Amino acid sequence: MEMRASHILVKDRALAQQLLIKIKQGANFESLAREFSTCPSKSAGGDLGWFGPGKMVSAFEYACTQLGVGSVSDIVQTQFGYHIIKLTGRRD
């Protein structure tokens, strides 16, 4: 199974919490990714494209498996920083 996700990656947990609150209040995920994310995917609104098992770090991949399409994760910590993940697709 492949998944497609977008994310916002930041180094500071407090900033991640502030962004997550804004998203839950209806802020545009892609706009926040463009403005705040430290990942090169920020230019695409955080879109990481399609990926299969083993292509992302395990905590990130696991979080994606727990989301429904269109859902946004809680804060996920990896060695890269703090992610807010939006699952945008799933296919077999």
Q: How many CB atoms lie within 10 A of CB 30?
A: 15
pTM, entire model: 0.97
The CATH number that applies at residue 71 is: 3.10.50.40
Q: What is the pLDDT of residues 10-43, one digit of tens each?
A: 999 999 999 999 999 999 999 999 999 999 999 9
In whole angstroms, what is the distance from residue 28 CA to residue 3 CA? 21
In whole angstroms, what is the distance from residue 56 CA to residue 25 CA? 28
**Which residue intervals of the chain are DSSP H helices?**
13-24, 29-36, 58-65
Domain that holds residue 60: 2-91
Our count of domains for the chain comes to 1
